[in-house]
Homo-oligomer: A and B are copies of this chain.
Amino acid sequence: MALEDYPRPSVTVDVIIFTLRGNDLQVLLIKRGHPPFEGMWAIPGGFVGIDESLEEAALRELEEETGVRDVYLEQLYTFGDPDRDPRGRVITVAYFALMPAHAVQPRAGDDAAEARWWSVYDLPPLAFDHADILAYALQRLRYKLEYTAVGFELLPEAFTLSELQAAYEVILGEKLDKRNFRRKILSAGVIEETGAYRTGEGRPAKLYRFRDDAVAEVKARRLFP
């Protein structure tokens, strides 16, 4: 039996793009410019090209919406309920991306009337099953943050320990003890001092950078309780 003898679904990628802005965890959504769900907010995504890998498709969507390519991107889950799209059978491979907020200007892509950041703690109603997808992405982000060094992907290249702690607190939704946080993050060996300081408010703070050769080391070793 040949490939063409089987009915083929449409396949899309959706990319949940997280960032930190103004001490808030935000996600990039687009306002749909066409039916179905015209005018509703949705996770950006699009059809997978026939000669394009899934990851390439996700990177392409990411770039279309943000102009950025070199960020953390991870496959999340594949959603394929037969009735998740009223137009017909559409299976979507969801990815999530983490990027620092600075220097990213959301752009409305082809199908979108508008694109903007939304706080994950205050979302509009979403098209399709996108509320489920987003909830799952958030859960996975929190989980990864506790066990791996992925949090740095949301910060600028150089950051202070207070900024890093604030990021963790926003994402996890809880306060952390300053001294314990510093001890743990420093003993994990995933960051190093840049030598520079951030000045401007109060005592100058040491700037740190992420040691990218350290990513693998932290995997499977819980960072926070």
Contact = CB atoms under 8 A, between A and B. Distances in A.
Interface in A63-79: 75, 77-78
A80 B9 contact: no
Looking at chain A's contact residues, is the secondary structure mostly helix, strand, loop, or mixed?
Answer: loop
Given A80-B53, A82-B51, A3 B10 contact: yes
Nearest to A6: B47
Contact of A81 (B2, B53, B146): B53
Contact of A143 (B9, B47, B220): B220
A218 interface: no
Given A93-B80, A220-B143, A87 B10 contact: no
Contacts of A93: 78, 80, 91
> What range describes how many residues of A lie at the interface?
20 to 34
A22 interface: no
Contacts of A220: 143, 146
14 contacts: A2-B87, A6-B47, A7-B49, A7-B50, A8-B11, A9-B11, A9-B48, A9-B50, A11-B11, A50-B89, A53-B81, A54-B80, A75-B78, A146-B220
A90 interface: yes
Interface in A1-49: 2-3, 6-11, 47-49
